[in-house]
């Protein structure tokens, strides 16, 4: 069995999270919440890259990635 621990949060935060949790266990709910937050961060970073990178920049990056793969002996 995995070790368990507790976290201390305000009653208001617990009630808010509990209203979102539905019938999931706290562990499943918090893992899902963390995964969604990570995905949202990645999507925001991707959006920012799309905003600042040109097609020429993207092509240069792909060439660099291909060179690194060759150097490290990696395949597609």
Domain enclosing residue 40, as ranges: 24-72
Cα torsion through 37, 43, 49, 52, rounded to 10: -100
Whose structure tokens read 């507790």?
Answer: 6
Residue 3 in any domain: the answer is no
Residue 14 lies in a domain: no
**Contact present, 29 and 20 (Cβ < 8 Å):** yes
Residue 2 lies in a domain: no
Q: Is residue 40 one of the residues assigned to a domain?
A: yes
Residue 57 domain-assigned (yes or no): yes
Q: Which residue stretches of the chain have pLDDT < 70?
A: 75-76
Specify the number of domains making up the chain: 1
0.75 exceeded by pTM: no
Token pair recorded at residue 32: 């899902």
Q: What pLDDT does residue 30 have?
A: 97
| Assigned domain for 17 exists | no
* Residue 9 in domain: no
């Amino acid at each position: 069995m995995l070790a368990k621990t507790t976290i201390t949060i305000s009653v208001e935060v617990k009630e808010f999270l509990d209203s979102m949790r539905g019938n999931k266990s706290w562990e499943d709910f918090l893992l899902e919440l963390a995964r969604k937050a990570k995905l949202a961060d990645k999507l925001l970073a991707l959006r920012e890259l799309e905003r600042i990178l040109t097609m020429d920049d993207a092509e240069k990056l792909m060439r660099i990635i291909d060179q690194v793969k060759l150097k490290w002996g990696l395949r597609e």
